[in-house]
């Protein structure tokens, strides 16, 4: 086989068809005024790792909220707005790492795969936050 015939294949982005889209799993963390049914603030982003489970950085979880407010993640709806999903059992990592988990009544389109290998210095990784990151070329690579 000639190299010429491989070029179009190699030029295509490497993405598995089953890989979830970042916008379906990276969600803003918001506070919701329960009486007014509206968001009152954005604190960071969470990752819908599995159905009913979000993972975030501990620093994205605010301290005590005012009475009548709750913590939620927001997911874009078909009309273009956002629908809040309340977080339950929010828990920071007990060992002191900047990590937190919470339950949410939200189904994931599919489970986001975790890297099963051992991370090494110099490895390329992807990190998404809210608002969603858009990859871009930096000077020098």
The CATH number that domain 24-104 falls under is 2.40.10.10
Answer whether 0.85 is exceeded by the pTM: no
**pLDDT tens for each residue of 5-52:** 343 444 444 454 455 566 678 899 999 999 988 889 888 899 898 899
Residue spans per domain, the chain: 24-104
Alpha-carbon gap, residue 109 to 27, rounded angstroms:
13
Is 109 in a helix, a strand, or coil? Answer: coil
Taking only the tens place, the pLDDT of each residue in 48-80 is: 988 999 999 898 898 889 999 999 999 888 888
């Amino acid at each position: 086989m000639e190299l010429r015939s491989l070029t179009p294949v190699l030029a295509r982005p490497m993405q598995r068809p089953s890989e979830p889209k970042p916008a379906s799993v990276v969600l803003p963390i918001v506070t919701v005024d329960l009486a007014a049914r509206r968001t009152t603030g954005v604190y960071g982003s969470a990752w819908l790792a599995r159905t009913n489970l979000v993972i975030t950085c501990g620093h994205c979880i605010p301290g005590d909220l005012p009475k009548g407010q709750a913590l939620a993640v927001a997911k874009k709806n078909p009309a273009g707005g956002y629908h809040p999903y309340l977080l339950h059992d929010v828990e920071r990592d007990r060992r002191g790492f900047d990590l937190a988990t919470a339950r949410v009544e939200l189904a994931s389109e599919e489970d986001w795969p975790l890297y099963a290998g051992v991370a090494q210095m110099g490895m390329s990784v992807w990190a998404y936050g809210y608002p969603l990151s858009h990859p871009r070329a930096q000077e020098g690579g």
